[in-house]
Amino acid sequence: MKKPIGYVLPAVLAFALGGCGIGGGGGDDSSAPVTGKVTGEITFQTWNLKGGYADYFNGLVTAFQNANPGTTVKWIDQPPEGYQDKLSADAAAGSLPDVVDIGPEAAFTLANAGMLLDLSKTDPGAQSAYLPKAWDANKFASLGGGTYAYPWYLNTGPSFFNTALLQKCGVAKDPLPGTYDTLFAAGKTMAGKCKGDTTMVGRLPAIETFGTYGVRLMDPQGTKFTFNDAKGVELVNHYKELYQAGGMTEETLNKLQTGELDAFKAGRVGWLPGSSYTLKDLKATAPKVAATVAISPQITNDKPNMYIESLAVNAKSKNTATAVAFAKFATNKENQLAFCQKAAIFPSAAGALDDPYFTKDDGTPETKLRLESAKAVSDAIVYWPAAFSSKSGDHLREQIALAILGKKDVQAALDEAVKYADGNLPKK
Amino acid sequence: MTVRQTHDRWWAPWLFLAPALAVVVTFILFPFANTLALSATDATLLKPGRFIGADNFVRLWQDDRFRVAMTNSLLYVVCVVPIMVAAPLVLAALVNGTTRILSFLRTAYYLPVVMSSVIVGLIWTNLLDSRGLVNNVLQWAGAVDSPVLFLSDRWLTLFSAMLVTVWTGLGYYMVIYLAAMAGIDPALYDAAAVDGAGPIRQFLHVTAPGVRATSALIGLFSSVSAFRVFGEVYVLTGGTGGTGGQDITVTMLIQQEGTGLQAETGYAGAISVVMFVVLGLLLAGQLWFQNRRASR
């Protein structure tokens, strides 16, 4: 408490809130077929990609401009922190970039506000160029079944185990836990042998964990969430039993994904659901842990989980034809393959996963990991429902923590989480 | 210049006031009025919303998170304000002097005030972590067998945040007390000494009554700051509001509901309005209590 600024903060906050009524409203052109000449200037916004991939993107922009004389693409890259806030500010101010790098959850919110082009109406033929499941990730049943972004890159990842920790705590490393049942059993074994703050599991289940466990997350119409069913309760009860057996610390009940990764790097957590670039990260930042790491397929009772990034087109773009052309150019098979060879990601373009880069083994651990992940991508689906907002995700985590601490009944906690998530669905 | 000429320039005072008025209207009055209006709508960040009357306030009443947030914020006021009024006064009395060591101590106590709240948060997070210095010392001394969950347990997290608030605020209020103490007539201390009063009696019967008005002011300031606490709890809980959201405060709830792509600005506005009313009542209560005490 430094200053008598009790009146300043509410005023600033109120001002911030005050600006929130601006913007919004769908444009009439969001569902009409895109026509017009590919020309003029557009803005293209990415998220945290300038650091390692500036040459790739500068080349991409130059190639597009050369192929389409008279066009200018202004590339803007936003820093990793606060990307959602930047999108929010742009959307509220009506200054969303023409082509924007976006996940399904943000696309859903912006599409609901009429800010994105509905590709199922403006460019229905584009669907065949992408993997059906990638195209469907941006198809929103509760918004009339429209599709609001061109699929770009995919990511998934296997399980990473700290074998030194497993050995120390009495868990066999051959075979490694491959199902949720074996994972929870190993977690309890570890809790029995290693008292303290080293555990198998480092984070509470997120919505995609429910999906991989086999819980039905939402009804087919996308009108209500259903993860509070008996299967969902069963999953949370497993976590509760693990916690009660000492297989999770109280600290882990408040951990986000970064906290789980940090704990794994510090050698305090045995299992990490990683991504295709986790190994590279571990080698660079936690070499001792990386040396003991064993990689095994993603733990799932169903299909593996994957994440997707897409390129959406602003429905109010002044150069819609150019924006659409550029989004399709950036997400075509050739450009996706080129990008995947620079970054540890996977293409969503149809047929791209058949490229030798994802099928031919050269014997190195990195290639082995890439091939396994690519195989998992072929089989994987995007579990996270686009209509499940990050606020709903936070609320779910809080409710599960209360249930595990015994402050709330598991069923009641999940019912509350579902009620909250339903409340955040678009109002009819 | 004639009298008539002066009257012709009726706009002159307004001209001088204009910059300040423009700032007040733009950054305080308009947003305040807009927040009031928003609180009666179901507006989101991307949609202006429609009038829903008092629905947001009814929803607030039924919202467990709001109840938890209000409890935590009020508890913060109850615990922190008395310490903030008393501790800096004692500290000021101890370092009030002209020797070099006292000058050094005054600077040292003021140092946390000029530090970034993020740095302060990181320092305390590292100190209070289950593998942090405090737990290592406690375990080394044999005071505890397992780490104390300063940053995970609901109440310990809240009290840890209060500790950080007090640590950072002590120096600031100490300086205010030092300024107030400079205004106390030294003859009063001489007279008390002649009457046989030692340092403690002098503090109780000369210093404390001499800075009563300043104490009242600090009580008001620290109440407002404590009720709208944000940074300390945010940093210590990693922005989550603690395990199960049990350490969330009203300001954090406004931030969570009112920011991001899915922001419910109408609902956040309603929370802001309730916060404004509670703060107003809190301050009015304090003023009434102090006036009553002064009139005795």
In this predicted model, what pLDDT tens digit does every residue of A206-260 receive, in sequence order? Answer: 999 999 999 999 998 888 999 999 999 999 999 999 999 989 888 888 877 778 8
- List the single residue in B222, B262, B272 with the smallest CB-CB distance to A17: B272
* pLDDT tens figures, A296-312: 889 999 899 999 999 99
Residue-by-residue DSSP string for A354-407: GSGGGT---S-HHHHHHHHHHHHHHH-B--S-TTS-HHHHHHHHHHHHHHHTTS
Strands A40-47 and A71-78: parallel
Chain A residues in contact with B256 (beta carbon < 8 A)? 391, 394
* pLDDT tens figures, A46-96: 998 887 789 999 999 999 999 999 999 999 999 877 888 888 889 888 889
The predicted structure's pLDDT at residue B140: 92
In our burial notation (b when 16+ CB lie closer than 10 A, e otherwise), range B273-296 reads: bbbbebbeebbeebeeebeeeeee
Comparing C-alpha atoms, which of A190, A187, A219 is closest to residue A205?
Answer: A187
Are A21 and B49 inside 8 Å of each other by CB? yes
Phi/psi at A205 (nearest 5 deg)?
Answer: -65, 140
Q: Residue A51, exposed/middle/buried by CB under 10 A (0-12, 13-18, 19+)?
A: exposed
How many other C-beta atoms are found inside a 10 Å radius of the C-beta of residue B122? 13
Are A424 and B262 inside 8 Å of each other by CB? yes
The predicted structure's pLDDT at residue A67: 95
Residue type present at position A80 = P
Determine which of A181-185, A318-322, B30-34, B147-151 has the lowest per-residue pLDDT on average: B147-151
The predicted structure's pLDDT at residue A255: 74
ipTM of the complex: 0.82
The predicted structure's pLDDT at residue A19: 34
Chain B residues in contact with A250 (beta carbon < 8 A)? 149, 152-153, 243
Q: In this structure, are residues A36 and A321 in contact, taking their beta carbons and an 8 Å threshold?
A: yes
**CB proximity B27 to A under 8 Å:** yes
Determine which of A19-28, A122-131, A376-385 has the lowest per-residue pLDDT on average: A19-28
Kindly report the nearest CA distance between residue B235 and chain A, in angstroms: 13
Residue type present at position A221 = Q
- Closest chain A residue to B245, measured at CA: A398
Are A85 and B27 inside 8 Å of each other by CB? no
Mean confidence (pLDDT) of chain A: 87
Residue type present at position B178 = L
Strands A99-102 and A40-47: parallel
Please name every residue paired with A72 in a beta bridge, in sequence order, or none if there are none: A41
The answer to whether residue A17 scores a pLDDT higher than 50 is no
Percent of chain A with pLDDT over 70: 92
Residue whose structure tokens are 């940093």: B235
In chain B the domains, ranked by start, together with CATH numbers, are 55-294 (1.10.3720.10)
**Separation of alpha carbons B91 and B175, rounded Å:** 10
- List the single residue in B35, B46, B240 with the smallest CB-CB distance to A256: B240
**Separation of alpha carbons A396 and A416, rounded Å:** 8
**Tokens in use for A241?**
């039993």
Comparing C-alpha atoms, which of A403, A346, A414 is closest to residue A380?
Answer: A346
Residue type present at position A96 = L
The answer to whether residue A28 scores a pLDDT higher than 70 is no
Half-sphere exposure of A305 (CA within 13 A, CB side): 22
Interface test with A, best of B68, B79, B243, B278 (most A CBs within 10 A): B243
Kindly report the nearest CA distance between residue A101 and chain B, in angstroms: 15
In our burial notation (b when 16+ CB lie closer than 10 A, e otherwise), range A262-294 reads: bbbbebbbbbbbbbbebbeebeeebeebbebbe
Are A13 and B272 inside 8 Å of each other by CB? yes
In chain A the domains, ranked by start, together with CATH numbers, are 40-154+307-354 (3.40.190.10), 159-304+384-423 (3.40.190.10)
The predicted structure's pLDDT at residue A32: 65
Give me the mean pLDDT over the A360-385 stretch.
87
Listed in sequence order, the residues at least 6 apart from A231 whose beta carbon sits closer than 8 Å to its beta carbon are A213, A214, A215, A216
Give me the mean pLDDT over the A96-108 stretch.
95
Taking the CA atoms of A415, A382, A109 and B228 in sequence, report the sign of the dihedral they define. positive
Q: In this structure, are residues A197 and B152 in contact, taking their beta carbons and an 8 Å threshold?
A: no
Treating both helix axes as pointing N-terminal to C-terminal, what angle do B212-227 and B265-295 enclose, rounded to 10 degrees? 160
In B180-209, the residues whose Cβ lies within 8 Å of chain A are none
* pLDDT tens figures, A272-281: 998 777 888 8
**CB proximity B259 to A under 8 Å:** yes
Interface test with A, best of B30, B39, B46, B155 (most A CBs within 10 A): B46
**Separation of alpha carbons A136 and A145, rounded Å:** 10
Q: How far, in whole angstroms, is CA A308 from its chain's centroid?
A: 6
* pLDDT tens figures, B99-139: 899 989 999 999 999 988 778 888 999 999 888 899 999 99
**Separation of alpha carbons A399 and A417, rounded Å:** 7
* pLDDT tens figures, B58-90: 999 999 999 999 999 999 999 999 999 999 999
- List the single residue in B30, B48, B261 with the smallest CB-CB distance to A18: B30
**CB proximity B226 to A under 8 Å:** yes
Are B261 and A405 inside 8 Å of each other by CB? no
Interface test with A, best of B28, B45, B56, B65 (most A CBs within 10 A): B45
**Separation of alpha carbons A402 and A406, rounded Å:** 6
Are A2 and B147 inside 8 Å of each other by CB? no
Are A21 and B30 inside 8 Å of each other by CB? no
**Separation of alpha carbons A40 and A115, rounded Å:** 21
Q: In this structure, are residues A198 and A268 in contact, taking their beta carbons and an 8 Å threshold?
A: yes
Give me the mean pLDDT over the A143-166 stretch.
92
Q: In this structure, are residues A168 and A194 in contact, taking their beta carbons and an 8 Å threshold?
A: yes
Chain A residues in contact with B225 (beta carbon < 8 A)? 1-6
Are A2 and B258 inside 8 Å of each other by CB? no
